[in-house]
Structure 1
Amino acid sequence: MPERPQALFAMTARNVPHIFPPEVLVRLREHVEIDPTLVAQDFTDPRIRETLARTEVLITGWGCPRLDAAALDAAPELRAVLHAAGSVKGFTTPEVWQRGIAVSSAAAANALPVAEYTLAMILLAGKDVFALRDRLRGRRAFPYGDILPGIGNYGRRVGIVGASRIGRRLIELLRPHDLKVSLADPYVDEAEAARLGVPLLELEELLRTSDIVTVHAPQTPETRHLLGARELALMPDGSVLINTARGALLDHDALIAELRAGRLSAILDVTDPEPLPAGSPLFDLPNVFLTPHLAGSQGNEVARLGQTVADEAERLARGGGLAYAVDHTVLERAA
């Protein structure tokens, strides 16, 4: 049996037992030699540097220190980084790619709970659940048996902004439902949209023709305030905006103005800034449903990220290619 490569955890230490519970850790250790009690949170720590010098595989996650030239110089044997989370933008540097180090990400696994959250919110928003819940709570009475006009998910128009991993997974999850789904993404052409099974629209047309708009674009300098006052004004009266991507994609001042006017509703899992200041009107506006950045992997879902890394470690140990290798040439426009 070939010798297992030396590996090292590099992430926030308290997250390790959640991402790698016992059964997942056992699987990981079948393919790499790793000490779960040794976790790099600072690559200059003398105890870490001793192991780093012979590390071939880094198992990274939220809180991983930056892999700059100094850190990489201290890890001359490093050949792969397996990231047990989504984006690698926060800790990778050009030196990683220049040195030919393979990088894998569990972004695809992390996309699933975000898509599930979004699906749930679309269906609840289509029923106007949040407003009607408040109406029932306030009046302690409701016109049971009456047909409520204007609600329902039969033929509801859903616009997806961004064919990211999450956007694409959401398209899959929406297929069994009687919804009219469309997509806006400048990097997708008509042929690819056809393969995804959705019509491709310009952003302005999508905003004008959607009852529910859900944002899944990456955060880049070009997408900051992607939806500002002009774009929000295009959305029909009574429509709903969902954001599970990054808060900076929305101009919050413009959004708050629309919300105060009562023209739109919003479901926000991310904000700008994050967390919001205590005095933000988003906490109290009745047409806002606010959640604390929990759409992504949480609780028992983070073990799926660890399982993805264990699978990648097996492929690496067998000399195969990584299933979720990161392409650094498109990293800047990836979510």
Structure 2
Amino acid sequence: MITVAVPDQEVADALGQMGDDVRVVQWSPKESDAPEAERDRIDLVCLPHLHGGRRVYGRMGQCRNLKVIQIPSAGYEHVAGLVPDGVVLANARGVHDTRVAEMTVGLALASRRRLPQFIDAQRRGVWEQDPWTPALADSRALIVGYGSIGAAIASRFRAFEMHVEGVARSARIAPDGTTVHAVSDLQSLLPDFDLVVIVTPHDETTDRLVDAEFLAAMPDGALLINVGRGRVVDTEALLAELESGRLHAALDVTDPEPLPEGHPLWTAPHCLITPHIAGFEVLTNRRYTDLVHRQVEALREGRPPVNAVMTGTAAR
């Protein structure tokens, strides 16, 4: 019998019939210790967003036969050191692709067509024309971190008649036909692109990847969009470019985050900020429930977990 722990009845209902060999129990490690009667039975824990930290992962460590922790995000660096010993951490790669891609297009359109400026004019009741805002059509976009989310962004950009290329660890032609360059070539590529989209995770190789040298290589009037991780961008270097008026930015993630009251990014010219909401997906969404069903099927068949990203080494 496979036992799956979910945070509430709504998620249980969304999962539907899992098979006669599957039990679904309600338990939120954020709220309480593992139920005594279930501690030796739980195989898979499904965590909602914003459920991290030592207490939460320590409580999952009470489950002596736990095999998989399914997190709802693609990024996992924030919990990498907390996963109980021997337990597999699985991310939600693929679940958020469309949402992040939609937000990226929205940020690109809003920034390039100056929608915040017109919304402000409407609020003030002023007919403030600026008819020469740049279109997305015929512009060139470089997606830094060309994985499944990058490919989803590219497909939508192409619908706007944009030219799209990517950057990843190594050069290749992606399955969708996109030319993907090696990250070692990044600096030489930047002058040729009007939009640069950051969708990389944060680690030691991407920390402050977007620094003063990176930004200086972007052409005048170019737009930087960050839907990856805030710490990939050097905030001070970006502020200098924004305050000079040379570059534009649309940021769903920032460093620091949350962005504190009074931070200069709030009022920097040509800077659009959303509060890290591009990729959140509810656990009742069919993309997430499909992933959980595939995870259960892997457990049933004794296959490696779906989207496994690491095995924990923290003591239970």
SS of equivalent to 2:25: coil
- Equivalent position of 2:245 in the other structure: 262
Contact 1:155–1:179 (Cα < 8 Å) also in 2: yes
Aligned AA for 2:104? Answer: T
Return 5+ residue gaps in structure 1 as ranges: none
SS of equivalent to 1:225: coil
Alignment of 1:221-300 (within 5 A): 221-298=204-281
Match of 2:308 among 311, 326, 329: 326
Contact 1:40–1:48 (Cα < 8 Å) also in 2: no
SS of equivalent to 1:81: strand
Alignment of 1:188-227 (within 5 A): 188-190=170-172, 192-193=173-174, 196-198=177-179, 200=181, 202-227=185-210
Contact 2:29–2:57 (Cα < 8 Å) also in 1: no
Contact 2:140–2:195 (Cα < 8 Å) also in 1: yes
Is 1:122 matched with 2:116? no
- Equivalent position of 1:176 in the other structure: 159
Alignment of 1:111-190 (within 5 A): 111-134=97-120, 140-143=126-129, 148-149=131-132, 151-185=134-168, 187-190=169-172
Match of 1:59 among 37, 43, 46: 46
Aligned AA for 2:189? Answer: L
SS of equivalent to 2:205: helix
- Equivalent position of 2:297 in the other structure: 315
Change (3 A) 1:228 1:65: closer
Is 1:7 matched with 2:4? yes
Contact 1:232–1:255 (Cα < 8 Å) also in 2: yes
| Structure number with higher helix proportion | 1
SS of equivalent to 1:266: strand
RMSD: 3.5
Aligned AA for 1:114? Answer: V
More displaced 10-residue stretch of structure 1: 48-57 or 287-296: 48-57
- What percentage of aligned pairs have identical amino acids? 25
Aligned AA for 1:184? Answer: V
- Equivalent position of 2:24 in the other structure: 34
Match of 1:24 among 14, 30, 40: 14
Change (3 A) 1:32 1:160: same
Contact 2:15–2:284 (Cα < 8 Å) also in 1: no
Change (3 A) 1:296 1:163: same
Query: What is the aligned residue count?
Result: 309
- Equivalent position of 1:80 in the other structure: 68
Contact 2:3–2:25 (Cα < 8 Å) also in 1: no
Change (3 A) 1:85 1:154: closer
Change (3 A) 1:66 1:316: farther
Distance (Å, rounded) in 2 between the aligned partners of 1:73 and 1:278: 37
More displaced 10-residue stretch of structure 1: 120-129 or 208-217: 120-129
**TM-fit CA distance, 1:159:** 1.2
TM-score normalised per structure 1: 0.77
TM-score normalised per structure 2: 0.81
SS of equivalent to 2:224: strand
Contact 2:245–2:269 (Cα < 8 Å) also in 1: no
Aligned AA for 1:34? Answer: V
Distance (Å, rounded) in 2 between the aligned partners of 1:111 and 1:245: 12
